[in-house]
Structure formats: structure tokens, C-alpha cells
Amino acid sequence: MQVRNLERDAEPFTTADGSTIREILNVQHPPTARQSLAEASLPAGGATERHYHRDAEEIYFVLTGTARMELAGEEREVGPGDAILIPPGAWHQITALQDLRFLCCCAPPYRHEDTYFA
């Protein structure tokens, strides 16, 4: 059984889009092979760089804080309990209105090389 703890096992790093994440499960932690799960955070006023992923489908799940989510040209305010589906190829950006923590699920697993900018 694979059990990893966010606080104990996940070291923070900055992704290509500018958010700070802690990967909880990914391909570096067998037997995970087809998806990844990470906690992401942005300070109030912070934003990811607008980008898309050619291969990965993502789901953002907001834990704390509020944000403005832009997805394929549509904007909406999101907050705790909201889940956002980000299809492959969809341009997106999230801007924290308050300190923000959210889960990011990617299938296939997150790779820097699958992040594209304008």
C-alpha cells in the first residue's frame, strides 16, 4: 500500500507556471503510473503564468482561499469546495484573491515539458 503524507513526504518546488507545489503522488513514487496529485499554493495577488498542457487533463480542487480562474477565455471566481476541469489544450490561469491552497490532479502525470506558454 502506498501512503504518502503531505507534510512529511512532499518537498515544495516551483513549477514552470510559477505556482509552488508539493507533489504527493507521481511517477517517482511507484506504483503510481498514470496520474499525479499535488498541493499547490499561491499568495494573495499571486497568479500562475497563463499556459496550457498538450497531454495532461487537470483538475483543480480548491481547499482554502478564493481565486479568479480563467479557462479558455471564460473567467469565474472559485473558492473552497470548487473543482475545475481543465481539458488538454485549454489555456488557463488562476489568480489568488486570498492566500490560496488547491489540489492539482493530472493525467497523465505532470511534467514541466508538457507546459506551454504564449
pLDDT digits (tens, 9 = 90+) for 43-61: 999 999 999 999 999 999 9
- Give the CATH superfamily of 12-117: Jelly Rolls (2.60.120.10)
Closest CA to 15 of 89, 118, 109: 109
Mean pLDDT of 67-76: 98
**Res 90: pLDDT:** 98
Indicate the average pLDDT of the chain: 94
pTM reported for the whole predicted model? 0.92
Q: Is 40:101 a contact under the CB 8 Å cutoff? A: yes
- Has residue 29 got a pLDDT over 80? no
